[in-house]
Structure 1
Amino acid sequence: MSHAPRKSFRQSMAWLHTWSGLVVGWVLFAIFVTGTASYYRTEISHWMRPELSAPTADPATAATRAAAFLGRTMPDALAWSVKLPTAEHPTAEVYWWNNPAGPYHHALLDPATGEPSQARDTKGGDFLYRFHFELSLPPVWGRWIVGICAMILLVSLISGIVTHRRIFADFFTFRRDRSAQRGWLDAHNVVGVLALPFHLTIVYTGLVELGPLLMPWGVKAAYQDDILAYYAETGIMAAGRKPAGQPGTLMPLGEIVARATAAHGEVPEVVMVTGPGDAAASVTAFFEEPPGLAHLHPQIVYAGDTGAELSRTGDVAAATRTGAVMIGLHEAHFAAAPLRVLFFICGVMGAATIASGLVLWTVARAPKGADPAGFGLRLVRILNLGTIAGLPTGLAAYFLANRLLPLDLVGRADWEVRGFFAGWMLAALAALLYPKARAWPAALGVAALAFLAIPLVDALTINETRFLGFDAAMLAVAMLLALGARLASRPRRQMRAAQPNRSRAVEA
């Protein structure tokens, strides 16, 4: 009886790397692209709300007016949140809710009047930011899916390191013209190795950030359902008051903002009112995180009726600070402009690593006897084309919808999001109609034209010099996609050009 040869450990790791990367690769590509774009979340939001300018009211006055609006809108809410206006965020951004699980209501207020802003309704860069870890699904479901995909990606990264014995030598080798499979493998190795420290860091820290959701049992065992007690004891949040269950009067929110500013030496970033209609209401002032890696916001809690200070955060234990540093590394709030550019480039290389790996799977299967018309190989090719070329088309559609939709359209922000998915889905469905030989050049060419249209439409509709940097970035993306379309069409041209020479050689 013959037995199949036993696979070595490295061969097993190669199998694990190949299949773990394929199973969730399309979701990971979307996570990396939208997460990379989120490094410029504020700039995207500015571009998508061109009507906004510098705030015309001081933060204390804006807080009082925001509280008046919230008092009229939902006086019996469980909590209010007011993000005070700054030069970067010219509006007062308010949220209110009646249940910790949502729904969360939202409005942008003109700080000078306290009324809803006249700026166009849009989710701005926040949509891309939240899509990165929620996939536009119900928050718990979306974060679970992203967490599972991140764990599989970590497995794929580690197995990839084990698989490539010549990982650093391969980094300096690029043999695109040797064969299609060798060219894609070398491209995958180069972008993967060059940003490997970033990939490992971003995946691991993302899992740490999702840790309380993915592994909640320790906190539940110690604190049951009192999650606020856990936050207070670890120093993540300052302790507030328990509701009294009796109606009360909230003192002007602007006075508490003034007290917090004097106590901390800077204006709060966010003010949250817990139980605004309760006699034991608490007001928590959140300040910008201090310089450093740790993602910890100093906080001071005040009594909502008297303005007396109740508590504040202090130094945290090593475990809490370690977790905060992990979150800080993932979100890169500490990064100045040059470092943010580096993070962005590494994010682009992360997306390129996943994309090249997905394409490599199909290229490697072709010479191994896989049926080109078979369902599995064809499905992977269509998903590759629809995701790698379709997602950029969806992003361009999202930006174009911001400029082209009527300003008074009801639910305008939701229509922009629908434009994102519609552009993505149409590009993916078109992959079914493209001739195989022209599919990639055509799909990437459409995405390039869509991004090229963004600065043109912006010039025709807004035409403001303060957005030249954003428009230049869109033009750069269009050029990269056009370059990709050109490179995708080159191998077949070379093959056709070489065919007569091969024929003459056979005849000779």
Structure 2
Amino acid sequence: MSKQKAPSIRQHMAWFHTWFGLFIGFLLFAVFWMGTLTVFDKEFDRWMHPESRSVAGECCTLSPQQLETVLLKARELAPESDNIRLRLPTERTPMTLIRIVKPDRTLKAYFMDPDTGKVVSNEHTLGGSGFFFPFHYKFNIAWNNVGYFLLGIAGLAMMALLISGIVIHRKLLAEFFVFRPKKHTVRSLLDLHNLSSVVALPFHFIITFTGLLIFFSIYFPWATLTAFDGDKAASQKAMSGFINMPPSGFTEDPGQQIAALKTVPTLVQAREAAWTQALGETARADSINIRNLSDSNATLEIRRVFPERSITMSTHADTVLLHTGELLHAHQPKPIKSFTHWINGLHFIQFDHTALRVLYVVGGLLGCFMIHTGFLFWLESRRIQHHKKKLPGFTVVQALTVGGTVGMMIATAAYLVANQLLPNQLPNRATTETWVFYGVWVLTIIWAFVNAVRFKRLENQAAAHRSSQWFQPTVVFTALCALAWLLNQINTGGMFAAALDQGDMNSLAIDMGLLLMVAMGTYTACKIVTPNEAFECA
């Protein structure tokens, strides 16, 4: 009796790749989809907040007089607040953003035109940076860092799936040139899955690896604290330049506080001059934080978080005693921390490079396509077998695939439509927008389950029953993207006219992206209903 041959390493990897990809793929799709949107999060902010365009000043610096005007306006908006944060204008966000932390710890945000003193509240929408961005890295779950750890699990799984995929496909380079659209559906889907994987493989590997490194201190907090004998304050000072001065107990009167605010432009200029001399090129601050303004130990943080032409983030972070002007700490990251800042910049891509940003979007969309076609391949390769054995798993996976991939895209488009439809005077408007997203997403998942069960007995019959699972959601997504684009034209006076008149190329990019989604959705819907079997579920 011959011995049964032991499974090879490739077979083990294939099993792992299939089942771990199936169970973690829905989480990975959410990360890739929201990460792709986050590449243009600041552009979404402006598109979703048309009023902010009216306070956009000349890009991209503030004169000392303008900075003083902004600070005094911030003090006027919340005289009882001791904490003021400013985000200074950049190419992508040519507006000055004022954030004021009130005594009850609530945060108020305003955009301001330093030339006219006009102020616009930034509270009626979370935009892209307030919703897409945190969803990307913590799924908007703040409780006990659960969101961060879910992301960590997804990231580790993605790394393992990439490695197992390389092991499975021995002819990796050949996959780059192979796509057989006229073959059977299963073969075509596998080709699409392999092609989208190989084309963007370096991007997928780098973006996943850097994403895991960014939150290393959250996953392993003891690793950094051990080096400083458990002293959290010393760790924060060494790692990020953050200094938390304890209150002195001596209160400065309002006149002294105003006088201190008027010295801020001079202090900022001094630090920028020091940076410029050290670097041999012009260096400007893009973030200013004032803490404990009414206390004698008030501090002024002057940061250069996003250099214009450098990948590295957080290159400078200097802290000054506000009322005396004494320099407390000029932060110079050590080599290891400098490397992590470079890693952060590579992942967040906040520097000014539009062409590279577009490539990040392409890589992110290829990641979404890779995950989605992986689900489709699993479904199509098991459809007949599961139907014969009457297994419930196929129906569940199909419903989750529709709701977890296309459903999330539909919810995103609904979020943009809600932004255009809801009146600015609506209480808790930003929260309502997010509830529209979650509500539509849940409804899509419910519809997917109902539809999957409805056609369960028809799996082996007409392809139209199978394509309906994809055709209807695709049409809904396409229609919502078109509606979001149309509503923005109505609300802002036209895409090209308004953008050219206000010099607002950033918002124009979102309009063009919506039109691209409409074109892709229309093409996909047409291919779904085509009689060509190779595309009936593509």
Aligned to 1:170: 175
Tell me the amino acid that sits aligned with residue 420 of structure 2: R
Residues 294 and 324 of structure 1 are in contact (CA less than 8 Å); yes or no, is this contact kept in structure 2? yes
Q: Percent of counterpart pairs with the same letter? A: 27
Letter of the 2:526 partner, please give it. Answer: R
Deviates more, 1:447-456 or 1:270-279: 270-279
CA distance in 1, matches of 2:535, 2:317: 65
Bigger shift: residues 273-282 or 51-60: 51-60
* Residues 383-398 of structure 1 aligned to structure 2 (within 5 Å): 383-398=400-415
Secondary structure of the corresponding residue to residue 58 of structure 1: helix
Unmatched tracts of structure 2, length 5 or more: 58-64, 274-282, 456-464, 500-506
Say whether residues 1:244 and 2:248 are aligned partners: yes
2:50 alignment partner in structure 1: 50
Instruction: Show the counterpart of 2:502.
Output: none
Q: Does 1:30 align with 2:25?
A: no
1:105 aligns with 107
Q: Which residue of structure 2 lines up, in the alignment, with residue 457 of structure 1? A: 487
Runs of 4+ in 1 over 6 A off after TM superposition: 113-116, 492-496
CA deviation map 1:430-462 (0-9, x unaligned) = 223445421111111111111111121122222
1:62–1:85: 8 Å Cα contact kept in structure 2?
no
CA distance in 1, matches of 2:66, 2:47: 24
Q: Secondary structure at the match of 1:172?
A: coil
| 1:427 counterpart = 2:444 | yes
Counterpart in the other structure of 2:60: none
Residues 482 and 515 in structure 2, CA contact (< 8 A), matched pair in contact too: yes
- Report 1:5-24 matches (<5 A): 5-24=5-24
Deviation at 1:398, TM superposition (A): 0.9
Partner of 1:312: 330
Indicate the residue corresponding to 1:488 in structure 2: 528
SS at match of 2:40: helix
2:359 equivalent among 342, 358, 368: 342
CA shift, 1:472, in A, is 2.4
CA distance in 2, matches of 1:327, 1:454: 32
Contact kept in structure 1, 2:528 and 2:535, CA below 8 Å: no
Q: Which residue of the partner structure matches residue 193 of structure 2?
A: 188
Greater displacement, 16-25 / 368-377: 368-377
Q: RMSD over aligned Cα, in angstroms?
A: 2.7
What does the per-residue CA deviation read over 1:186-232, in whole Å, with 9 as the maximum and x for residues that have no partner?
A: 00000100000000000000000011111112123233654331132
What is the CA-CA distance between 1:84 and the residue it aligns to?
A: 3.4
1:412 and 2:429 aligned: yes
Q: Partners of 1:358 and 1:327 in 2: how far apart? A: 31
1:259-281 CA distance string (max 9 Å, x none)? 21243146532211233343212
Distance 1:111 1:223, change over 3 A: farther
CA contact (8 A) 1:55 1:86 kept: no
Query: Are 1:299 and 2:304 counterparts?
Result: no
| 1:345-356 matched pairs, under 5 angstroms | 345-356=362-373
The aligned counterpart of 1:92 is 97
What is the CA–CA distance in structure 1 between the aligned matches of 2:416 and 2:101, rounded to whole Å? 28
Inter-partner Cα distance in structure 2 for 1:238 and 1:141: 25
Shift of 1:311: 2.1
TM-score (normalizing by structure 2): 0.83
Number of the residue aligned with 1:505: none
Equivalent residue for 2:120, pick from 117, 121, 146: 117
**CA shift for structure 1 position 55:** 4.3
For residues 433-448 of structure 1, the aligned pairs below 5 Å read: 433-434=450-451, 435=455, 436-437=465-466, 438-448=468-478
Go from structure 1 to structure 2 and tell me whether the alpha carbon gap of 1:119 and 1:142 turns closer, same or farther (over 3 Å shift).
closer
CA distance in 2, matches of 1:114, 1:212: 41
Paired with 2:197 and 2:85, the residues of 1 have a C-alpha distance of: 41
- Alignment check: 8 A CA contact 1:205 1:330 kept: yes
**TM norm structure 1:** 0.88
Unmatched runs of 5 consecutive residues or more in structure 1: 497-508
How many angstroms does 1:184 deviate by? 0.9
Q: Which amino acid aligns with 2:26?
A: W
Aligned-pair CA distance for 1:372 = 7.4
Cα distance, 1:119 vs. partner? Answer: 6.0
Deviation (angstroms), 1:44: 0.8
Report if aligned partners of 2:181, 2:534 keep a CA contact under 8 Å in 1: no
Give secondary structure in 1 for the equivalent of 2:410. Answer: helix
Paired letter, 2:109: A
1:148-188 CA-to-partner distances (Å, cap 9, x unmatched) read 11111111111111111111112211123222211111000
1:228 equivalent to 2:245? Answer no
Shift of 1:238: 5.5
Task: Provide closer, same or farther for how the CA distance between residues 383 and 239 of structure 1 changes in structure 2, counting only shifts above 3 A.
Answer: same
Does residue 326 (structure 1) correspond to residue 330 (structure 2)? The answer is: no
Instruction: Identify the residue that residue 271 of structure 2 maps to in structure 1.
Output: 263
Query: Distance between the aligned counterparts of 2:106 and 2:174, measured in 1?
Result: 52
Alignment correspondent of 1:201: 206
Equivalents in 2 of 1:233, 1:347: separation in Å? 34
Q: Which residue of 2 aligns with 1:130?
A: 134
| CA distance in 2 between partners of 1:62 and 1:326 (Å) | 33
Further displaced range: 275-284 or 45-54: 275-284
Cα 1:295–1:244 change in 2 (3 A) is same
What code does the residue aligned with 1:483 have? Y
1:66–1:92 Cα contact (<8 Å) kept:
no
